[in-house]
Amino acid sequence: MFKILQQVGKAFMLPIAILPAAGLLLGIGGALSNQATVQAYPVLNNATLQGIFTIMAAAGNVVFANLSLLLCIGLGIGLAKRDKGVAALAAVVGYLIMTGTISALIPIFAPEVKSIDTGVIGALVMGLISVALHNRYHNIQLPQVLGFFGGSRFVPIVTAFSAIFVGAVFFLIWPTFQNWLTIAGQNIADMGEIGTFFYGFLMRLCGAVGLHHMIYPLFWYTELGGTEIVNGETIVGAQKIFFAQLADPNHLGLFTEGTRFFAGRFATMMFGLPGACLAMYHAVPKARRGAFAGLFLSTALTSFITGITEPIEFMFLFIAPLLYVFHAFLDGVSFFVADYLNISIGNTFSGGFIDFLLFGILQGNEHTNWILVLFQGAVWSALYYFSFRFFISKFNILTPGRGEESETNNTESSVTDLTENAQIIIQALGGADNIENVDACITRLRVSVTDVKKVDKATIKSVGAIEVLEVGGGIQAIFGAKAVLYKAEINQLLGRDD
């Protein structure tokens, strides 16, 4: 299971690479186009500005709205042994049919249920099933009369029928799980500061699989988040109360306790997870850090500025689930501390610097106690940094930049032409007839060969490979960042799907 989770984590790196840019667009655009923000800051009430912010928010939101679908595609590309395009197509077909099956069953058998969203769990299950079916049936031979549907064409077909069954299973079991979350939310609302801890912990834990949206609306928009009379009007829900008080010119003192469902986010998102990024960066051997600096910097800035944390969390969620549970615990403690200190900052979208500035600093410390976030944040940054460094080192957690997929090559090839190098590599592998399959991870060219004795390792090294290893009936040539380029070029020269 651990090996499978590691493979899943690697497969998810392709769609995860999209998230930082999407997060910045959504975070900045969403926060600055929100109606409550515009009312609080009239300078933003400009048609041109709002048009830009709205487009930014829409562009970023479409990525996160389809994150489960993108993860399915990543699984298909990352885990399929060959014909990766077909595997990705099958995964998409499977996921769409699964969700369509669920939607069709609701009005027939459970009209009282509004919707069933399986989040990342559904994507993971359907993606893995699609890849398993692809790896098993991509070369199947059917009777001659059905020959057109054989081979790779058979995979989306069998996946489609499997997806109907998977959708029916989710339809049967998921409402019960959703009901458990609702009951947990009702209990949390009545538990004071301890309840605030459980709110943060459960939110973060469910956020790993995209199910946090089942929890926070219960507190943001219903009685579970509190009831308050603001300017003579009864307001229900934590976020509604906050914005009503924000708009009330006669409000005095700290904003009310409804903000306890928001204030704990800032220390984690602005300080804690960037500290974890720094720890993961320092865990990379010094010779390799340059190749990963951009990745860690972009994800840390995304978390700090917008409060979007998935790009960081997916770096360790699947390879170290217990580390993610520890992270969720720290986030729960952050909510507890913020509630205990009476930090009273609300937000529109998330807990990044944009909301911290608009609804913390600019509202005045007398309303929000925002200065205390800086002290808590300093502690949280150190706590995340040292704890992540300890766990990564102690348990050899293969975060980006560590392990076999992270070996980089700083040696420049003696031949600079990519195509010429690829031709040399093909001959060194024993020729086209000796090559069964060509693949690559981040830094290794992985080739399955018919006869490993025909491989000329010295020639492969002469075009830039640091090392050439025999692994499981094939070879792995460590080329660094060029490995993926060589994979594509070799497959093109061989006339094969990469």
**Residue written as token pair 């009282």:** 112
Q: Is the pLDDT of residue 300 over 80?
A: yes
Pick from 27, 6, 117: nearest CA to 303? 27
Q: Please give the pLDDT value at position 405.
A: 46
Tell me how far apart the alpha carbons of residues 299 and 316 are, in angstroms, rounded to a whole number: 13
Percent of the residues in the chain that have a pLDDT greater than 70, as a whole number:
89
Q: Is the pLDDT of residue 403 over 70?
A: no
Q: Comparing 445 with 337, which gets the higher pLDDT?
A: 337
Q: Is the pLDDT of residue 416 over 60?
A: no
Q: Comparing 128 with 245, which gets the higher pLDDT?
A: 128
**pTM, 2 dp:** 0.63
Q: Indicate where the chain has its CATH 3.30.1360.60 domain(s).
A: 407-494
Q: Please give the pLDDT value at position 407.
A: 45
Most confident among 22-36, 83-97, 354-368, 454-468 (mean pLDDT)? 83-97
Per-residue pLDDT tens digits for 342-390: 999 888 767 889 889 888 888 889 888 999 999 999 999 999 999 999 9
User: Residue 488: pLDDT band by 50, 70, 90 thresholds?
Assistant: confident
Q: Is the pLDDT of residue 450 over 80?
A: yes
What homologous superfamily is domain 407-494 in, according to CATH? Answer: Glucose permease domain IIB (3.30.1360.60)
Per-residue pLDDT tens digits for 153-175: 888 999 999 999 999 999 999 88
Q: For the chain, give the mean pLDDT.
A: 83
Q: Please give the pLDDT value at position 413.
A: 39
Per-residue pLDDT tens digits for 12-57: 667 766 766 776 687 678 778 877 778 878 888 999 999 999 999 8
Q: Is the pLDDT of residue 275 over 80?
A: yes
Per-residue pLDDT tens digits for 192-222: 889 899 999 988 988 776 667 667 777 877 7
Q: Please give the pLDDT value at position 260.
A: 86
Q: Please give the pLDDT value at position 17.
A: 67
Q: Comparing 145 with 405, which gets the higher pLDDT?
A: 145
Beta bridge partners of 459: none
Q: Please give the pLDDT value at position 20.
A: 65
Q: Please give the pLDDT value at position 163.
A: 96
Phi, then psi, of 454 in degrees rounded to 5: -80, -5
Tell me how far apart the alpha carbons of residues 54 and 123 are, in angstroms, rounded to a whole number: 28
Burial of 75 (0-12, 13-18, 19+ CB in 10 A): buried
Tell me how far apart the alpha carbons of residues 461 and 425 are, in angstroms, rounded to a whole number: 9
Q: Please give the pLDDT value at position 335.
A: 94
Q: Residue 429 corresponds to which amino acid?
A: L
Most confident among 25-39, 55-69, 414-428 (mean pLDDT)? 55-69
User: Residue 480: pLDDT band by 50, 70, 90 thresholds?
Assistant: low
User: Residue 238: pLDDT band by 50, 70, 90 thresholds?
Assistant: confident
Q: Please give the pLDDT value at position 349.
A: 66
Q: Please give the pLDDT value at position 9.
A: 64
Residue 20, both tokens: 């930082």
